[in-house]
Structure 1
Amino acid sequence: MNESTKTKKALRGSLFALFLCIVLLIGTTFAWFTDTASTGVNKIQAGNLKVDIVDATNTAKSLKGDTLKFTDVNNSTDILWEPGVTFNTPAFKIKNAGNLALKYKLTLNGVTGDQELLDAITFSVVDENGKAVNLDTFEGKLAKEGMSGALYIQGHMDEAAGNECQGKSLESLSLTVVATQDTVENDSFGPDYDKNATYPVASASELKTALNNGGTISVTKDIKTNNSEDSAVARMVISNPTTLNLDKKIISPDNMGNNSKNFVALYVEANTTINATKNGGIDTGNNGGYGINVMNGATLTINGGYYYGGGTAVQVQEGTLIINDGTFACEPYDNPTYGYNFQINCIDSAYKNGAAKVIIKGGTFINFDPSNNTAEGAGTNFVADGYKVVPETHGTDTYYKVVKK
């Protein structure tokens, strides 16, 4: 074999080996040189909004739960109101016990007694400089962990108050401070991200006004409404699109179930979303009215909370009810034929023509099966497609829980 032949054989062998390598590499992935680098991220800490009313001379002493008492110049609480008099409460301070800047308002609530006497008295907030601001328009601001100057509430009885106020009294006056975030802390773009933060409502009258106006409404303490009068004017009505955040409950008076015009704790006439904690919701008490009534084609979406009504927790008169979560119960009808059967209910004719709809995708229903009930006839199913009911026995009650299939 000459040198030329040897060279050709070696070349053919090399080419064959190269071919095999190409075949073996087909269908595989190539590896590349790589490297990584990382850095730590500082702790993410949520802010804490907390406010308190404290003694002006001993700021470590909280005045929560104390009764507001007006005094005369001799610090006596044994006083009589008459036209033209002015009385003050002892001084107090507002303490920002959290780490977020806040703004706050003061409200008087829990008042029982004569309305004419209440209307004859103007209440103001007086600061440490002696400046008086009408209670309804006063607003204070505090930096994080800040403290206000000494404040007190001043009451002035109108000089024109007449004999209609003689012998009348007001009792159980309490002072409430409500706070929300102030536009001080920055996010990535500036301090205006919380410029629309709203105050929680602190009284039944504030709640009624807020529901009528709509927007974002927060209930952070149980509010007992006083709308027992059997008239449309006395109703608690959501009249404009609303997001209702219920950390606590709206509690309507007992015996509203006897009414014919005002028999519901909350009327929903505009698109509404209720976001509620386990301590929030609706409670109608004994012999109470319905919990909620959806009207005027509104859509009500319920996310969490506890809803208790007399015979019915939620009714759809005209509109759509969407339940994603929450617990629903009712005071059963005395007639066992009805019992718990209308815990979730629609007006029959509206349900039949499609003007009233219920779509349930979650929640727990006590003694009422939302997938198989008689609210709109035998076999009524309010549960959305793709969901099912899981029953659980709790003593003498059955809890029907809606879950995904």
Structure 2
Amino acid sequence: MSNISPQASQGGHGGHGGHGGHGGHGTEDDVFFGTDAPLVADALINNRDGIVGNFRRPEAVPQELDLDDVANMTRWAQERREQVVDFELHSRIGFSQGMGDPAGSMNVWHLEVAHDPDDAVPNVRYRPLVRMVRPTEKVFLGQLQLVANYADLRADRVTEILAQRDGPTAFLASVAYMAPNRARWTLELLGAVFRLAQFVEFRMKHALACRRPMEYSPQIQPMILTPEHGSLPSGHSTESFAMAIVLVQLLRASPNPVYEQDIYAVQLLRQAARVAVNRQVAGVHFPVDSAAGALLGLTLGEYFCRRFSGEADFYAWSFDGEAYPEDADFNWAGWYDVQRQRQIAPDARSPCAAELGRHKLGAVSPILTWLWEKALAEWS
């Protein structure tokens, strides 16, 4: 997986084994030079020689741009805006292995940064965002039969599974009306949450180092190439739920009464769950992977919305894989309450998820708020 923007998603992302870049639209060079770039460049050299005349010192200069002004964001190329936004997001994320926990845990933190005008160095405080405990081998073995049973759905789901290898954007766009010209800033916003999800999920995958179903049994025989990274949390589940919940919150924030209907949230979350479960059908994930991804995605999606919309705080969550029932499938309805519009702990036989409290975000980022407002205006 690589950094991509959903703006190209109507033609597909690039794939969990190798996402494409900003495909689906021409580059700046294409627009400027056309298809015969060497010919045009040579012609421009000769053209300038014929018209430039004697060089004159300019009598006026462009107005100086203000430092770190969000108004400058529209001047930059999309790829450069994405890098600016990613730095704003990712530079506030920390990671550590749990200390003093016999089960072993991995923790993602929000870095609350306070700027003291009398201090040259900002003060940083770590606030919990996500805590995960790896499932035991007993849990994975107990889930293996569920994965084997899901193989019966492969013939029905093959087209979906292949189309979703590269990400969920086209499928989310079938629920909420997103097209490049209609929802340019929304797609750019979703690109940012997609990259945030990948940024966190891969660090967690590496840390927890969970094996794939086929490594437990040769009878699983996945229908697609098994990705070459850890199984838990499921990346497709993380990305799909993070992007879905951002869309839910964006629509709910719109003054358009159409989007007050719960059905939008229900359909978007059903779609996220469908993408997650399809990875189980394909034979590359356990249900517990999807559950861990759902918790991570919902937490990151809500955190993302609060950072972008200028909220003062956020909610942290934990996932205890050891407590996940061995024979339990994954059901999205246990992870989000549509009526109350909030993430919840699943109604399961064991407390595998818990809220870790409400924590401060710190200073608002004008850059992130700028992009949120641009996207929100598209749904008004």
TM range (shorter): under 0.3
Bigger radius of gyration: 1
Q: Which has the higher contact order (CA 8 A, sep 6+)?
A: 2
TM-score under structure 1 length normalisation: 0.22
Q: Which has the higher strand share?
A: 1
Q: Which has the higher helix share?
A: 2
